[in-house]
Amino acid sequence: MSNRSGFSGRLGFVAAAAGSAVGLGNIWKFPYETGENGGAAFLIIYLVCTFLIGFPVMVGEISMGRKTLADPYGAYNKLGGRKWAIVGLFGVICGVMILSFYNVVAGWAFSYFFKLSFGDLLTSTDFGGYFGNYVANISDNFFISFLFMVLTAFIVARGIKKGIEAAAKILMPVLILLLVGLIFYSMTLPNAMEGLKFYLVPDFNKVGFDTIYKAMGHAFFSLSLGMGALITYGSYISKKENIISSAAIVSIADVGVAFLAGLLIFPLVFSQGVEPSAGPGLVFITLPGIFQTMAAGKLIGGAFFLLLSLAALTSTISLLEVPVSYVVDEYKWNRTKAVTILAAGIFLIGLPSMFSQGASELFTNFIHYDGVSKDFLSLIEDVFLNVGLPLGGCLMSIFIAARWKTSNMAAEIEQGNAGYIGSFVQKFIDIVITYIAPVLLGSIFLLTVMQKFFGISFF
Ligand code: TRP
């Protein structure tokens, strides 16, 4: 066990875990959810959720990983036996399924980078139509998301230190530089202040229960929690590492990048007097229209989609590492074989999602629930992300509280953080894991299932 290869040190772990957290969730989803849910008020609730629930659950995941030095299945198996290991296996399956469609969306971002920088995207007169045509065009999509999966696989195959850590240490600083550079530019645009006002001055009149529950779900997804991604990364750190401060830095990095993405996008959107509540199309439809009006549109727009692609890449890496660690640990496959077979398999599983954006009628109007006809990608997203992650997080908290015991978790955290036991932070984390997280995550799970699949809405 002692020769299990791992991160070289704290910086490597933090860069990789922050890379996992910072993804499409921060730069694509967070701005449109904020735009749809009242701006600053949503931002504040999301910050509170991150530190109140996300941070303690992250500490729990990392502790389970470092205690057992195993993949999610192995971690539950060692601490709780075979029955509990099903929860870990469910996490691995969620990772496979989330990556299958996440990689497709990452491919859109990556091809928008090429089309905007080197292609004809900015000459379009109808960006909604352009996007609709693009996602329905299988040959382009197939090629680019295949390429994206190959990139991901290549990095994961190189291992923890030379692959995942090295990539994160390069990609994360580049990402921050691109982001900050773009913010400086967008602040110079006309009406930038209007955008900032929308983003930073809260209007709590728009906040209802559903805002809170959306913000909580988003915080959870954005931190990469609920499926054992951080159990996996946690299994690669040493006992000298301080889990609390590492988890705190990762949480701050995650909300920090989401916050910066908002600082970039709202001034852009308001500079053209466009509505910020465009939904999922905000980044792919609204923004190109804005880049078109700029003299330096190709450069700025290209930089934006490169940023989005890099953020997605450090996340697809972590999503792939979860099933890879499972077969490496449990079935003793060598890493290269595991990566090749899993990446190929997950790419294939993603094909119906790829075809579900207009290319195939069957997958586009695949199923009817939640009052509308849903495509295959949305179905997988609902089941494994919107429902699966809160369920996984709820079960993990119950597992720690009822089976592993918070005292054992505390003993693990104490290593590398002398004085943790008995501290205020310990009390806070124990209370959240024992009472608050199971109840809140369990409620998100139940409410989402009721609302989406049974049409019962409580607010
Ligand atoms: N956190 C990433 C994002 O915001 C997505 C992600 C990567 C993820 N790995 C994960 C989500 C593991 C849940 C679990 O885009």
Average pLDDT rounded to a whole number, residues 395-420: 98
Q: Tens digits of per-residue pLDDT, 264-290?
A: 999 988 988 888 877 778 899 989 988
Which residues, other chains included, contact 352 with Cβ-Cβ below 8 Å and sequence gap of 6+? Answer: 360, 363, 376
CA distance 123 to 253: 36
Task: Name the residue of 175, 283, 319 to mutate for ligand 1: max ligand atoms within 8 A of Cβ.
Answer: 319
Mean pLDDT of all residues belonging to the chain: 94
CA distance 56 to 154: 32
Q: Tens digits of per-residue pLDDT, 150-207?
A: 999 999 999 999 999 999 999 999 999 999 999 999 999 989 999 999 899 988 888 8
* Burial letters 22-42, b for 16+ CB under 10 A, else e: bbbbbbbbbbbbbbbbbbbbb
pLDDT at 1 over 50: no
In this structure, what token pair is assigned to residue 318? 């972590």
Q: Provide the Cα torsion 300, 302, 308, 313; round to 10°.
A: -140
Q: Measure CA 351 to chain center.
A: 21
Straight-line distance from the first to the last Cα atom of the chain, in angstroms, rounded to the nearest whole number: 50
CA-nearest of 281, 312, 300 to 117 is 300
Q: What is the CATH number that goes with domain 10-454?
A: 1.10.4160.10
Contacts 24+ apart (CB under 8 A), 160-163: 160/5, 160/6, 160/7, 160/236, 161/5, 161/6, 161/7, 161/8, 161/12, 163/317
φ and ψ at 224, to 5 degrees? 65, 35
pLDDT at 426 over 80: yes
Q: Tens digits of per-residue pLDDT, 14-25?
A: 999 999 999 999
34-38, 102-106, 374-378, 382-386: the lowest-pLDDT one: 34-38
How close is the Cα of 294 to the center of ligand 1, in Å? 32
CA distance 21 to 30: 12
Question: Quick check: CB of 25 below 6 Å from ligand 1?
Answer: yes
CA distance 210 to 309: 30
Q: Provide the Cα torsion 120, 143, 110, 152; round to 10°.
A: -160
CA distance 224 to 22: 9
How close is the Cα of 194 to the center of ligand 1, in Å? 31
Going from N- to C-terminal start, the domains of the chain cover 10-454
Average pLDDT rounded to a whole number, residues 396-406: 98
How close is the Cα of 422 to the center of ligand 1, in Å? 32
Q: Can you tell me which atom of ligand 1 is nearest the CA of 312?
A: 15
Concatenating the DSSP letter of every residue in 336-364 gives HHHHHHHHHHHHHHHHHHHHTTTT-HHHH
Helix (H, G, I), strand (E, B) or coil at 372: strand
Q: Tens digits of per-residue pLDDT, 334-345?
A: 999 999 999 999
Q: At what angle do helices 335-355 and 297-331 cross, to 10 degrees?
A: 130
The protein residue whose alpha carbon is closest to atom 14 in ligand 1 is 224
The protein residue whose alpha carbon is closest to atom 8 in ligand 1 is 224
Question: Quick check: CB of 384 below 6 Å from ligand 1?
Answer: no
Q: Give the DSSP H/E element, type plus range, for residue 379.
A: helix 376-380
Burial class (CB in 10 A: 0-12, 13-18, 19+), 176: middle
DSSP percent split of the chain into helix, strand, coil, nearest 5: 80, 0, 20
In the Cβ-directed half-sphere of 207, how many Cα atoms lie within 13 Å?
15
